[in-house]
Structure 1
Amino acid sequence: MTEQPKHAPPHGMEKYDLGGKDDLGALSLAQQADLNQFKMKTRIGNEKYLRDHPEVECLVAGFLGDVLTKRPDSVREFAAEYFTNPSLPETLEKQLAGRQEKLKQNRVIQSLT
């Protein structure tokens, strides 16, 4: 029988592919450990990037909000129009300013409690 890994996969990631009796599956234990390390490094890198670029959150939130509000028949066409709209940079700046204001308000409220 194959040996089960002694380390857990990263949280939220797919389970190991260990196959059945005497079948290690698609990856060896060392390959699976390397893959898990790669996944964790990638996830950490993505999180750092998103923290450093709050405009990405505003873009995605604004787009999803409009899609759910307007419910277009063709999301692909709607996305093309949304992301090529000449006023998008202005809208994004307003959203970022609103986000910053909310963060300031939250800090003030937290300092009072």
Structure 2
Amino acid sequence: MANVANKHDIVGIPGILDVHRKEFEKKKLGLRISNESYLREHPELSAMLKMFMQDVLNDYPENILEYAGEYFDDEDMQVKVDDFIRLENSSN
């Protein structure tokens, strides 16, 4: 074996055997599929993220964590999200 500090480093990833890497990739793909499915079932989440990103890029808040907390704590968020989704759907 070449000059390897970790005897399990046989695929170029320290400490991960080839069989573990394949299992990791399989689980990662499963998680991506699950996440995509969840996002499709909850279009309001995508709308909220789009709204938030647009407002962040318009406002350039100095304290992003405080801004996010106040943003998502808005009592009218449901109405704003519904309006955003309606507007998005009408423009398609």
TM-score when normalising by structure 2: 0.82
What is residue 82 of structure 1 aligned with on the other side?
Answer: 71
What is residue 30 of structure 1 aligned with on the other side?
Answer: 19
User: Structure 1 regions of 5+ residues with no counterpart?
Assistant: 3-18, 104-113
Q: Distance in 2 between matches of 1:100 and 1:34?
A: 40
1:52 to 23, 33, 41: 41
In the TM superposition, what are the counterparts of 1:7-22 in structure 2 within 5 Å? none
Q: Equivalent pairs: percent with the same residue?
A: 27
Q: Distance in 1 between matches of 2:91 and 2:17?
A: 48
Cα RMSD of the aligned pairs, angstroms, is: 1.9
What is residue 91 of structure 2 aligned with on the other side?
Answer: 102
Q: Which amino acid aligns with 1:53?
A: H
